[in-house]
Amino acid sequence: MINKKVKNVQEALQGVESNMTFMLGGFGLCGIPENAISELVKRNVRDVTCISNNAGVDGFGLGLLLENKQIKKMISSYVGENDEFERQMLSGELEVELTPQGTLAEKCRAAQAGFPAFYTPAGYGTEVADGKETRDFDGKMHVLEAAFKADFAFVKAWKGDAAGNLVFKGTARNFNQNMCGAATITVAEVEELVEIGTLDPNNIHIPGIFVQRIFQGKDYEKRIEQRTVRYPNESI
């Protein structure tokens, strides 16, 4: 067993620098690497490019890096749940590249799997395809999209072991699974670091080979963006 365990978030983020490109898992605030984000704020790395489906909210998630003006460029599919993001984007301080969500996911998967580029129908005929190569396959037009290149991927899992094996819970899986192994160094933080051999080899979502560093995370807030409930006698 190749041991990927590191002591804490400080050790896990050794080597992060300004001007780097980071991938960050999560959908909205669901499954975001809270510990890594806090540490990025503390380290105050500047002018970074962040690949993340969303950009957090004011005061939480990537919103923390935005407030601190650490982000030069965001690559996302859906943004603007926070005012600071909007302000920086409209003022031109922040560069924003909007990418269809499925394309974003596959650009991660392509990087993980060693594919340089892929053809997708998403975005054909829209400004997303501007300047990109297009091609007809079986009468349907496709856009050529390139794999992402990133220095670090920060992902958050439910459980993990020292071998780097990861298991996710619910919809907190999302982009976390696709970003593992898609950057030079993948750092996984887990809610529970379990003993080696306790995860069922049949049900490991990410084999440890895709993870370089893993640590026991702490103080998870796991905020809910849209708390929606039904009433006890509501019929569905």
Partner 1 sequence: MLDKIGIAKRIAQEVQDGFYVNLGIGIPTLVANYVRNDIEVEFQSENGVLGMGPFPFEGAEDADIINAGKQTITTLPGASFFDSATSFSMIRGKHVDLTILGAMEVAENGDIANWKIPGKMVKGMGGAMDLVASAENIIVAMMHANKRGESKILKTCSLPLTGVGCVTKVVTNLAVLEVRDNAFHLLERAPGVSIEEIQNATEGTLIIAGEIPEMKM
Say whether residue 120 binds a copy of itself (CB under 8 A).
yes
Could you say which residues in the range 16-35 bind a copy of itself, by CB under 8 A? none
229's CB contacts (< 8 A; 6+ apart) are none
Question: Can you read off the two tokens belonging to residue 116?
Answer: 């340089």
135's CB contacts (< 8 A; 6+ apart) are 119, 141, 142, 144
Q: How far is CA 125 from the centre of its chain?
A: 27
Say whether residue 236 binds a copy of itself (CB under 8 A).
no
Q: Interacting stretch for partner 1, rule CB under 8 A, among 6-14, 34-42, 65-73, 82-90?
A: 82-90
| Shortest Cβ 184–partner 1 spacing (Å) | 11
62 contact, one of partner 1, a copy of itself, none, CB 5-8 Å limit per kind = none
Which has the closest alpha carbon to 204: 153, 155, 172, 158?
A: 158
Say whether residue 18 binds partner 1 (CB under 8 A).
no
Which has the closest alpha carbon to 164: 143, 135, 194?
A: 194
Say whether residue 94 binds partner 1 (CB under 8 A).
no
8 Å CB contact between 94 and 115 = no
- Interface residue with partner 1 among 8, 20, 60, 89 (CB under 8 A) is 89
Could you say which residues in the range 154-173 bind a copy of itself, by CB under 8 A? 167-170, 173
Query: Which one, 92 or 170, has the nearer CB to a copy of itself?
Result: 170
Query: Which one, 19 or 141, has the nearer CB to partner 1?
Result: 141
Say whether residue 231 binds a copy of itself (CB under 8 A).
no
* Angstrom distance (rounded) from CA 25 to CA 114: 19
Say whether residue 114 binds a copy of itself (CB under 8 A).
yes
Q: Classify 67 as helix, strand or coil.
A: helix
Question: Can you read off the two tokens belonging to residue 71?
Answer: 């982000």
Say whether residue 198 binds a copy of itself (CB under 8 A).
no
8 Å CB contact between 181 and 209 = yes
- Interface residue with partner 1 among 58, 67, 86, 151 (CB under 8 A) is 86
| Shortest Cβ 76–partner 1 spacing (Å) | 6
Task: Report how many residues bind a copy of itself under the rule CB under 8 A.
Answer: 21
* Angstrom distance (rounded) from CA 73 to CA 51: 9
8 Å CB contact between 159 and 170 = no
Task: Report how many residues bind partner 1 under the rule CB under 8 A.
Answer: 81
